[in-house]
Amino acid sequence: MRQLSPNATEIHATSTYRPSTHITHTYQMNYPPLLFSLTLFGLSAIMANAASFDWPQWQGPDRNAVSKETDLLKEWPESGPPLAWKISGLGTGFGSPSIADGRIFGLSHRGDDEVVWALSETDGNELWATRLSKVNTDGLSQGKEGGGCTPTVDGDRVYVLGRSGDLVCLRVEDGSVLWRRNILETFDGRIPVFKYNESPLVDGDKVICTPGGKEKTLAALNKWNGETIWTTKVPHEDDNAPTPPSIMVTTPMLVALDIDGNQEISTAEIRGSESILGKLDGNRDGKLTEDELREKSNEEGSGSQSRAQRQRRGSSYMRSLKVLAGLDTDESGEIDASEIENSVDALKKLDGNGDGLLDEKEVGAQFVSPPRSKAAYASALAVDFNNQRHYVQSVAKGLVGVAASDGELLWMHNRPVTPTGLNCSTPIYQDGFVCAASAYGGGGVLVKLAVDNNGGISTDEIWTSSDMENHHGGIVVIDGGLYGANGDIGGGNLVCLDFQTGETLWNEGDRDKEGVPKGSLMFADERIYYRTEEGTMLLIEPSRNGYLERSRFEQPDRSRNPAWSHPVIANGRLYLRDQDSLFCYDVKETGKVSKR
């Protein structure tokens, strides 16, 4: 870590935690007090300039990753800008902070709990922390460190969305919960693979979120009490897909066991399983093979594994159903004579609720994929077009615009789309044009909104580009240039396109370039603040002619996780979150006072 400046004072302090006595969700010192490592630089000068340009929500006041703050450093010292303070002990997570009225807000995992917290903007001291829910540990490991939501501050209230769908409104002053709704339960939502990471949009008297359900894809709630105002269904090609028949009527072994055909296997039917299974042994060799047990409709596909392979590794089909896996105890890919003989005991073990009956859930698929969510991790933004307020959002199957008044679906454009629905970055709106970008083959797209002959809104696709496959680092428009990272989980590079034409102006992935890696970005006072996933912080001068780096520094004390939290500028300070830690740097020009 850098040496402290001669005038700096380093102190180690304990949080002045102020518990709320009237709400059970607020921490009552259930966790040890956070230990802070605070380094204060010119505190009185910083306080004099405070509360000028807040960052109250995801991607700033206008949700476009642009700050209107001025008089910021155009270059940094070689070791980086002065560190105002650093705090450790926040809990893990990828969400960026929001800053409003002297407070910093964020979301974390602390042990088994998902927590929203508030810090002092002056020195990082924790003011309160409130439990939202138990940490959701289901599904894939990626992202389990914590949610990606940035809290939204609106007056004396702050709104957050937890990974499991808890939409919660809290009091800014003390973190007490004013209302909560679980959007998964309330709107029959469908949780995305990597859980909910959306930052709720507050617009007028509404809170906008994306439950992702079949019938209720988007929803507006009353910001004062959480009551539902409207919901919107976004069409999907899977909406009218027929429900597949029960495996109780398609799997030969289950059909044989279910003698009375009521799609349950009773105690009496379990007791007779040995003789029933014996009858399925068509070649009378004393064992049941995959070919004898497989669904008839799938027999043609059984050749994907040879008999030798199935015996050596175990049949994937035999592992696919709980009933087959339960009987094939040695995982040989066959149910041999001894396993048939012990079938009664094996089937009894599958009776999880002990009611003496085996239903489809108890004998069915080992690994069930949940219905695909129509939500896609992005956060909505409010726009005005054709004298009408509406909300633009990237959902799993493309871009949509819905009426703010009643949630009517005004328009839909089926790009950019990834096969997995991972459309993470918030779209950009500018003068009737909507730009969006997604990784994993989605690419970038610019569409123009227009009023059709019937008075409705149509979309005209202006361009698409495979050079703007933006993962979740965001995109920003500056003087006609579209800046963002091109790449996905495998890496990528910073790119600049012409916003109007989609022409690639320069690409740091080209062989003759510096190779600036994938990262997240925002813009303030003639500079792009770009944070690579490795943790390097870059100060870039926007240019359509090429990459112009003005300064860089390495964030100290890096965690092992990728630096996915976006950089934030507020009131002359640069904030960088790295999981459990938050760094606050002074980036104001010396002697300058922020102007609104």
Give me the percent of the chain exceeding a pLDDT of 70: 82
Measured distance CA(217)–CA(211) in Å, rounded:
6
Mean pLDDT, range 77-106, rounded to an integer? 96
- The single-letter DSSP state of residue 49 is T
* Residue 536 pLDDT: 96
Helix (H) or strand (E) holding 528, with range, is: strand 527-532
Looking at residue 517, the DSSP 8-state letter turns out to be B
Q: What is the pLDDT of residue 33?
A: 41
Q: 206: how many CB neighbours lie within 10 A of its CB?
A: 21
**Residue 459 corresponds to which amino acid?**
T
At 1, is the secondary structure helix, strand, or coil?
A: coil
Residue type at 319?
R
Residues 85-98 have a mean pLDDT of: 96
Min mean pLDDT across 84-93, 123-132, 210-219, 243-252 is at 243-252
Higher pLDDT, 241 or 9: 241
Residues 294-313 have pLDDT tens digits of 644 333 333 333 343 333 33
Rounded mean pLDDT of 230-251?
76
* Strand 35-40 relative to strand 83-88, pairing: antiparallel
Decide which of 12 and 290 is more confident.
290
Phi-psi region of 453 (alpha: psi -120 to 50; beta: other; left: phi over 0): alpha
Do residues 321 and 251 lie in contact, with contact meaning Cβ atoms separated by under 8 Å? yes
**Dihedral (Cα; 521, 427, 370, 96), 10-degree rounding:** 30
Q: What pLDDT is recorded for position 590? A: 79
What does pTM read for this prediction?
0.74
How confident is the model at residue 310, as a pLDDT?
34
3-state secondary structure 312-342: HHCCHHHHHEHHHHHHCCCCCCCECHHHHHC
DSSP 358: B
SS3 per-residue string spanning 545-577: CCCEEEEEEECCCCCCCCCCCCCEEECCEEEEE
> Picking from 96-100, 322-326, 441-445, 523-527, which range would have the lowest pLDDT averaged per residue?
322-326
Three state DSSP letters for 247-314: HHHHCHHHHHHCCCCCCCECHHHHHCHHHHHHHCCCCCCCCECHHHHCCHHHHHHHHHCCHHHHHHHC
Hey, what domains does the chain have and what are their CATH numbers? 9-238+372-586 (2.130.10.10), 247-363 (no CATH)
pLDDT at 363 over 50: yes
Spatial distance between the Cα atoms of 206 and 449, rounded to a whole number of angstroms: 24
Of 196-205, 347-356, 401-410, 448-457, where does mean pLDDT reach its minimum?
A: 347-356
Pairing, β 83-88 against β 228-232: unpaired
Half-sphere exposure of 507 (CA within 13 A, CB side): 15
User: Which is nearest to 264 in space by CA: 251, 272, 277, 255?
Assistant: 255
334-338, 473-477, 501-505, 590-594: segment of lowest average pLDDT: 590-594
Confidence of residue 115 (pLDDT cuts 50, 70, 90): very high
Question: Is it the case that residue 478 has pLDDT exceeding 80?
Answer: yes
Residue 149 has pLDDT above 60, yes or no: yes
Q: Is 532 helix (H, G, I), strand (E, B) or coil?
A: strand
What integer is the mean pLDDT of 560-573?
A: 95
How confident is residue 229, by pLDDT bands cut at 50, 70 and 90?
very high
7-11, 261-265, 537-541, 550-554: range with lowest mean pLDDT: 7-11
Contacts of the segment 512-515: beta carbons below 8 A, 24+ positions apart:
513/547, 514/547, 514/549
Highest mean pLDDT among 5-19, 87-101, 225-239, 367-381: 87-101
Segment among 50-64, 375-389, 402-416 with least mean pLDDT: 50-64
Residue 247 token pair: 């495996």
Give the Å distances, CA to CA, from 81 to 217, 246, 552, 576, 586.
44, 63, 9, 12, 6
pLDDT of amino acid 37: 42
Is the Cβ–Cβ distance between 218 and 232 less than 8 Å? yes
**Whose structure tokens read 């940035």?**
150
Residue 77: asked if its preceding bond is cis (omega within 30°), the reply is no
For 120-149, what is the mean pLDDT? 86
- The pLDDT, as a whole number, for residue 140 is 64
Cα 213 to Cα 232: distance, rounded to the nearest angstrom: 9
Distance CA 332, CA 330 (A): 5
| Whole-number Å distance between alpha carbons of 153 and 140 | 30
DSSP 394-421: EETTEEEEEETTT--EEEEE--S--TT-
Q: Residue for token digits 């476009």?
A: 64
> What is the number of helices (H) and of strands (E) in the chain?
13, 35
Chain mean pLDDT for the chain: 84
Give the Cα separation of 493 and 508 in Å (integer): 5
- When pLDDT is averaged across residues 73-88 and rounded to a whole number, the result is 96
pLDDT at position 369, please?
A: 52
Which residue did the predictor score with more confidence, 235 or 298? 235
Rounded CA-CA distance 583/124 in Å is 9
Tokens of 117: 């917290």
Confidence category of residue 50, pLDDT binned at 50, 70, 90: very low
Rounded Cα–Cα distance for residues 53 and 51 (Å): 6
The sign of the torsion formed by the CA atoms of 307, 313, 314, 319 equals negative
Per-residue pLDDT at 197: 93
Q: What is the mean pLDDT of residues 424-434?
A: 95
pLDDT (average), residues 1-5: 30
- Asked whether residue 324 carries a pLDDT value surpassing 90, the answer given is no
Q: Which tokens is 589 given?
A: 């020009």
Q: What integer is the mean pLDDT of 394-408?
A: 95
